[in-house]
Amino acid sequence: MSETEKLYEGKAKILYATADPAILLTVYKDDATAFNAQKRGQIRGKGEINCQITAALFKWLSSKDIATHYIDSPEPNQMRVKALTIVPIEVVIRNIAAGSLCRQTGLPTGQILPSPLVEYYYKSDELGDPLLTRDRIFLLNLVTPQRLAEIEDLARKINQNLQSFFAECKITLVDFKLEFGIDAQGNLLLADEISPDTCRLWDQEKSDPRSRVMDKDRFRQDLGQVESAYQEVQRRVLEQLEQ
């Protein structure tokens, strides 16, 4: 697939314009960063793995009436997507306490939450993606109250679907981050990616807290065997979808 102008280079992906202004090309990279890019490295094969996991999950979610920006994948590490206006909010959905929730609240890692927690973070590298409140979202005019309600409903619906799907893969969906965009008709669509870079995924077949980790925490916490964990997620997801 021949790209044209580079529009944006992020930590894990590069976005190109295409001949059609309604379509963008995303190229997934092997580069990995953590802690707001203070830790940098490479995970061999990650670009292809994350692109293929995202493509598979987005196709599956669209069969559940969840609209996404995914069009197709012309190469294993490339995805053609609909051009959207991205909502500058990262939506995090948590089923089990981990990561920043534990650091900021003192909840123990692994505590099952009574119901899924939906959180909003300001998508701003300069500010370090700070946690938002509803009032701050409206103060900054990031979205209208109606749009925020729509985002929350859609995020919860995606979580319900993905939790069951990953459970069938013998994987616990601990938490994950979503991004949304709005098309020219004003429709809300799921954007960005769903992959071991953006989810916490625990192997239900392992009980040891270090060996059960199948996601970017292996890179963040120097747990080793990062590539094989990502490959195993891809294998289980694709195998489950073939059934």
Q: Which stretches of the chain bind ligand 5GP, using CB under 6 A?
A: 90, 92, 98-101, 129, 175-177, 197-200, 216
Identify which of residues 129 and 152 has a Cβ nearer to ligand 5GP in the complex. Answer: 129
Pairing of strands 89-96, 112-122: antiparallel
Q: Are 78 and 105 spatial neighbours (Cβ–Cβ below 8 Å)?
A: no
Q: Nearest to ligand 5GP by Cβ — which residue?
A: 99
**Rounded to 5 degrees, what are φ and ψ at 169?**
-85, 5
Identify which of residues 81 and 174 has a Cβ nearer to ligand 5GP in the complex. Answer: 174
| Shortest CB 175 distance to ligand 5GP, Å | 4
Identify which of residues 68 and 195 has a Cβ nearer to ligand 5GP in the complex. Answer: 195
| Shortest CB 12 distance to ligand 5GP, Å | 7
Handedness of CA 103, 104, 110, 111 (dihedral sign): positive
Identify which of residues 92 and 143 has a Cβ nearer to ligand 5GP in the complex. Answer: 92
| Shortest CB 239 distance to ligand 5GP, Å | 23
| Shortest CB 186 distance to ligand 5GP, Å | 26
| Shortest CB 99 distance to ligand 5GP, Å | 2
Identify which of residues 55 and 97 has a Cβ nearer to ligand 5GP in the complex. Answer: 97
Identify which of residues 79 and 98 has a Cβ nearer to ligand 5GP in the complex. Answer: 98
| Shortest CB 236 distance to ligand 5GP, Å | 18
